[in-house]
Amino acid sequence: MPYRTLRDLDLRGKRVLLREDLNVPLDKQTGAVTDTTRLRAAIPTIRYLQRQGAKVILLSHLGRPEGKPNPKLSLAPVARELSNLLGEGVEFVPDTIGEQAKQAVAALQPGEVLLLENVRFFPGEEQNDPRFAQALAALGDVYVNDAFGTAHRAHASTAGVAQYLPSAAGLLMEKELHALGSILENPRRPLVAVIGGAKISTKIGVLEHLLDRVNALLIGGGMANTFLKAQGCEIGRSLVENDQVPTARDLMDRTEQRGIDLLLPTDVVVADRVEAGATTRTVRVEQVPPDQFIVDIGPETAERFGEVIRTAGTIFWNGPMGVFEIPEFAAGTRRIAELIATSNATSVIGGGESVAAVEQLGLADKMTHVSTGGGATLEFLEGRELPGVKALEAR
């Protein structure tokens, strides 16, 4: 591996600056954490550091405070929820690099955990200001980046600090890089990519990079409408990117030339409006009424996709098959999630909405790997360099 892991460092008694992605949703009324997924993902690395006798100093951002303090985006509620999950106190100080933070770090004992205030309360964080990075580094002896979800950001706490301290990847970072790297480098075949979501323009980089690697490509969600239009289908009032129709046509030509199985919907669910309670029906893709919206893949399409999924060695899924947030339009996404969960393939789920879907359906523990990265996952699979990973490699 080109970067160090926790097992490469002597951590006993060391002050470990641990960058985690604790950017969790908060209830607007109470300020309480409403989804603990990212907190739970951080626990294995925290526990490992505690067992090694390290003094754990947690760094994270929350929301977009634009470089100035915002009480609504304080990490105090996160510290309380993390304490509950760990079953022990996580100290919190409403300070990041000031005197209060320094005193709290100085008082920290081996095995104890301290959470500092939101790093984005300082303009130097997003600017990757060396002075801010050095001020953070002065609080620790070792830097560990476990925040894969922010590894695509060249910020002070995700990349800058690594220039000043011995650094390593945390357990979650290591797991993410291994799972996603295996898709690009040495997947068990056949490699099947299931790509959905609203727009082809946001996924074009991933599609391009996977084209030389996949054996089959299954396209659903709103982005499938652009492919259907490229085939000459009527798509009614559905979401479509007209400027991407030539791109879709080009991708279809290239998959055919390379012998890649490209599956598009053959039937779809249409609705008179994209709202709960809408009237829906299933039609062939050639028979979409001009006044209707395509809101999901149909059952025939789901089963056709299922035939490919059942034979896969590795599956990468990014993006829902329809407007799954509305229960009436969620059947296609639910069926694909069930098919992947019950397959014998190595399954990697990447991207916010796909992760939300498998979590919501209670199927996350049936998947081989559920990525905590949104933009970072996509950029990694586009073959782009992630600053947070690059900084570890440099060390």
Q: Is 38 a catalytic residue?
A: yes
- Angle, in degrees to the nearest 10, between helices 245-258 and 223-230: 80
Q: Is 53 a catalytic residue?
A: no
Query: What percentage of the chain's residues is helix, strand, coil (to nearest 5)?
Result: 45, 15, 40
Nearest to 46 by CA among 56, 37, 35, 59: 56
Q: How far, CA to CA in Å, does 35 sit from each of 21, 45, 89, 116, 364?
A: 13, 19, 20, 20, 14
Nearest to 162 by CA among 4, 314, 376, 37: 4
The first and second tokens of residue 343, run together, are 């397959």
> What residues have CB less than 8 Å from 71, skipping those under 6 apart?
none
Q: Is 199 a catalytic residue?
A: yes
Rg (CA), the chain: 23
DSSP symbols for 296-327: EE-HHHHHHHHHHHHT-SEEEEES-SS-TTSG
Selected catalytic residue, list 19, 38, 55, 175 = 38
Q: Is omega for the bond preceding 190 within 30 degrees of 0, making it cis? A: yes
Contact 146, 173 (CB under 8 A): yes
Selected catalytic residue, list 31, 111, 375, 395 = 375
> What residues have CB less than 8 Å from 98, skipping those under 6 apart?
none
Q: Is 4 a catalytic residue?
A: no
User: Whole-angstrom Cα distance, residue 340 to residue 337?
Assistant: 5
Selected catalytic residue, list 102, 352, 366, 390 = 352
Selected catalytic residue, list 47, 80, 102, 199 = 199
Nearest to 332 by CA among 323, 342, 343: 323
By annotation, the residues acting in catalysis are 38, 199, 352, 375
